[in-house]
Amino acid sequence: MHKSEERYSWSRILADPTPRSSWMQFVRKQDDQIHAFLQFDPELGREVASAAGPAPSESSCIGSLKGIPFAVKDNIAVRNFKLTCGSKLLKDFISPYTATAVQRLMERGAVPVGKTNLDEFGMGSSTENSGLGMTYNPWDLERVPGGSSGGSAAAVAAGMVSFALGSDTGGSVRQPAAFCGVYGLKPTYGTVSRFGLVAYASSLEVIGVIARDISMVRDVFSVMRGQDPMDHSSVLYNEAGPAKGGRFTVGVPDLGSISLHEEVQISWEKTLDGLKSLDFHLKQIELPTLEYLVSAYYVIACAEASANLARFDGVRYGARSAGFSGNPEQLVRLSRSRGLGDEVKLRILLGTYVLRSGFQDQYYLRAQRIRTAIRREFEGAFSGVDLILMPVYPCGPFKWGSEGLDPFSQKLSDIFTCSANMTGLPALSFPASLENSLPIGMQFLGPPFAEERLLQACERFAQVFPVPACPLYRPPQAAGPRDAEGPGA
Amino acid sequence: MTVIPFVPNSKRQATDVQAAKVFSQNILPVYYRVKFFSPGGAPGVRSPDKDGNRPWVDTVGDPVFNGFRVKIMEREELDITAQLARLELSDEETKRFERAVVQMLEYFSKMRELDVEGLPPTAQMTQTNRTRKDVAIVYRDTEAILVNAPELEDRFIVIPNVL
């Protein structure tokens, strides 16, 4: 199906009762296998969206997202929907407000239809750390969808929604997008308001988009971005200029001692060949500080997490142990200990430790100085290139459980993604090839505000390798052919 | 409280290990291995061999002392940290987390190799402070907030006796 037809079908799918109910049936059937959604409620979504702002009248040309259903990672607030963050502690929490990013999309007519599974509070790379159940990769149900936005990526790849929102703290949009064979944009830090995103590591994270269609990524991002009075770290969008000379110069880092799994190595070489055939100019670059990136990243992420997650105390909201009678201090300890999962506790412990007096200089302060070194290194690199190409992850989608990657190896594997978070730079992961019938993703990084450059480069690359469809994928099916409906009917 | 100074494994001498052992009775050598990763701490994933098995290799640096590493944090330190973080860990959990925390702290010690002299710290990416007007914004839909309270009496949230 042609892309614009697919887009049109998405915009019509909720409008009439018949296609709507058959789509809802399709999603429920898909989700019996995939478990992408923690909550799927299009009727509630329609209510929330219609109350969100000036309802787009049928005749007005309000924007290109009218009627389009989308999914939201369950650490991003949508009023009256749950906001569990994948945590047992918040499994019954109902959001009293809506995130700015979601609000802006609703004002343009898009309809949130459900909340997707994630690693608890966004901490993980496989969605196995969700306290509320697993999500399965639609390409192979024995494999993980990646994480932490695993539910969002799986829902998009399986054709359940047109696009989904995720959050990217160290690769949580791009890595699941790569594992599921779709596009994943991590915008420049601060371009999308974090108001309504449950905070994990505030200086690193940003709300991003996952979609199969690159023009959808572009439209969603352009609607979401912009300064927001509710988020004081949000910035005015100041678009970077086009590539010099109209031809992309792509920096290709020497991966040196970093070993890639075989399928990623093959895909990496295919990508380089593909770019050459598209007349991209490839230029070797050096990023020697990459070696220290992951340790510095985890020090900062855990430190910020330990502070941000201090609010979950079981006092004003959240699960409390039944029949509890002790003192408030004990109530807080027990609520946290029973409600939070292992990975979250580990990161809180690490973060608390590195911030303790006496340890701050050797961990947190040192990590922040290394962050400066990394930032400068990337700034230097971008003086000579328009984009930087990197793999997304050292291996392809791995199996869940004991046959997969242990938590420590998963952390080390953030090496390619977390550079964009440490530097605040935009990055877009794209499907690069299929190896053994599984998708492998690569990513472009750009200078601040160069999202359009990333999108154009991916559009060009799609000539070599278009977005693949997983076996479970089915294109959206609206009421009838476009010409039978009439324009804007 | 005993704190062992951080020394990257590559620079650690056997004598450091022995000294550390003498330093405190509480410090026991631990040896652990991590799947998939090549020696030298280079992040990367090993391909499975022809039987589909993945090799077990050491995680960071070379073996230091008969293949043993030195614990870099004491049990007591973990207990204090858990107290500060308002977490209550069972004995079984303490054992599990101790291993994971030590593994990460040892990995963090890699940062010591880099000379950061003269580099200012980066705390945030948007480098300017933007302030808002000091005006209260009243949130009116308090019912939507109270609905999430674990225990209510009328419109009060119930907590255990403070005294």
Across A47-56, A312-321, A392-401, A453-462, least confident range: A47-56
> How much is the mean pLDDT over chain A?
93
| pLDDT above 60 for A56 | no
**Is A32 domain-assigned?**
yes
Rounded Cα distance between A420 and A252, Å, is: 15
Residue A408 belongs to a domain: yes
User: For B25-71, how does the pLDDT look when each residue is reduced to its tens digit (9 = 90+)?
Assistant: 333 333 333 323 333 333 333 344 455 443 333 333 333 333 334 44
Residue of A nearest to B108 (CA): A295
A73 in catalytic set: yes
Residues of B in contact with A356 (CB under 8 A): 81, 84
**Could you tell me if residue A120 is inside a domain?**
yes
Place of tokens 């990763």: B37
Mean pLDDT of B117-143: 87
User: For residue B136, what pLDDT band results from cuts at 50, 70 and 90?
Assistant: very high
Judge whether residue A14 has pLDDT over 80: yes
User: Structurally, how many domains does chain A consist of?
Assistant: 1
Higher pLDDT, A201 or A479: A201
Best of A234, A369, A403 to substitute, by most chain B Cβ atoms within 10 angstroms, is A369
Of A55, A99, A105, the residue nearest A77 (C-alpha): A99
Segments forming the whole domain that contains residue A99: 3-246+382-485
- How far is A375 from A419, CA to CA, in rounded Å? 9
The answer to whether residue A352 is domain-embedded is no
In this prediction, residue A259 carries a pLDDT of: 84
Q: Label residue A483 by pLDDT band (50, 70, 90).
A: very low
Whether A429 shows a pLDDT value over 60: the answer reads yes
What CATH number does residue A165 fall under? Answer: 3.90.1300.10
Mean per-residue pLDDT for A133-157?
97
Please report the pLDDT score of residue B7 as a whole number: 41
Residues of A in contact with B60 (CB under 8 A): none
Q: Is A193 a known active-site residue?
A: no
| pLDDT, tens digit, 9 for 90 and up, residues A42-55 | 999 999 999 986 55
CA pair distance B64, B11, nearest whole angstrom: 9
Would the CB atoms of A353 and B148 count as touching at under 8 Å? no
From chain A, the residues in CB contact with B35 under 8 A are 405-406, 409
Query: Residues A264-313: pLDDT tens digits?
Result: 999 999 999 999 999 999 999 999 888 899 999 999 999 999 999 999 99
Over range A342-355, report the average pLDDT: 96
- A458 within a domain of the structure (yes/no): yes
Output the pLDDT for position A141.
Answer: 97
Which residue among A233, A306, A331 sits closest to B126, beta carbon to beta carbon? A233
Residues of chain B neighbouring A328 (CB-CB closer than 8 A): 159-160, 162
How far apart are alpha carbons A308 and B85 in whole angstroms?
11
Residue A413 within any structural domain of the chain = yes
pLDDT-based confidence at residue B75 (cuts at 50, 70, 90): confident
Separation in Å, CA of B29 to nearest CA in chain A? 20
User: B88 to chain A nearest CA, in Å?
Assistant: 6
pLDDT at B45: 36
For residues A38 and B100, the model is more confident at: A38
DSSP B56-97: EE-SSSS--BTTBEE-SS-HHHHHHHHHHTT----HHHHHHH
Q: How far apart are CA A458 and CA A250, in angstroms?
A: 12
Q: What is the Cα A99 distance to its own chain's centre?
A: 15
Residues of B in contact with A375 (CB under 8 A): 122
Token pair of A268 as six digits: 């990496």
In a domain, A280, yes or no: no
Whether A251 shows a pLDDT value over 90: the answer reads yes
Percent of chain A whose pLDDT exceeds 70: 94
Active site residue A50: no
Distance, CA of A248 to CA of A453 (rounded, Å): 9
Q: ipTM of this complex > 0.95?
A: no
**What pLDDT, on the 0 to 100 scale, is given for residue A20?**
96
- In this prediction, residue A57 carries a pLDDT of 52
Pairing of strands B56-57, B156-157: unpaired
What is residue B53's predicted lDDT score, i.e. its pLDDT?
A: 44
By DSSP bridging, strand A249-253 and strand A387-391 are: parallel
Query: How far B162 CA sits from the closest chain A CA (Å)?
Result: 6
Distance of CA A138 to the CA centre of its chain: 17
pLDDT reported for residue B99: 85
Q: Hey, which of A392-406, A413-427, B103-117 has the most confident mean pLDDT?
A: A413-427
Query: A185-189, A191-195, A286-290, A350-354: which has the minimum mean pLDDT?
Result: A286-290
The residue ranking higher by pLDDT, B112 or A422, is A422
Provide mean pLDDT across the span A73-81. Answer: 98
- How far is B148 from chain A, CA to nearest CA, in Å? 5
The pLDDT value recorded for residue A53 is 62
**Of the candidates B113, B116, B144, which has its C-beta nearest A373's C-beta?**
B116
Q: What's the confidence (pLDDT) of residue B50?
A: 53
Summarize the confidence of residues B115-127 as an average pLDDT.
Answer: 87
- Number of residues that this document lists for chain B: 163
pLDDT at B159: 87
A–B: how many Cβ contacts below 8 A?
A: 207
How far, rounded to the nearest angstrom, does the alpha carbon of residue A78 sit from its chain's CA centroid?
17
With a cut of 90, say whether residue A163 has pLDDT above it: yes
**Digit-coded pLDDT (tens) for A119-141:** 999 999 999 999 999 999 999 99
Higher-pLDDT residue of A90, B105: A90
Does residue B19 carry a pLDDT above 60? no
Structural domain includes residue A199: yes
Q: What percent of chain A has pLDDT over 90?
A: 84
Nearest C-alpha of chain B: how many angstroms from A381?
Answer: 18
**pLDDT at site B36:** 30
**Is residue A420 pLDDT above 80, yes or no?**
yes
B113 has pLDDT over 70: yes
Contact A299 B45 (CB under 8 A): no
Residues of B in contact with A353 (CB under 8 A): 73, 77, 81, 101, 105
Q: Give me Rg for the CA atoms of chain A.
A: 22
* Pairwise CA distance, residues A215 & A207, whole Å: 18
Q: Which of A224-228, A448-452, B92-96 has the lowest mean pLDDT?
A: B92-96
Tell me the mean pLDDT in the region A86-93. Answer: 97
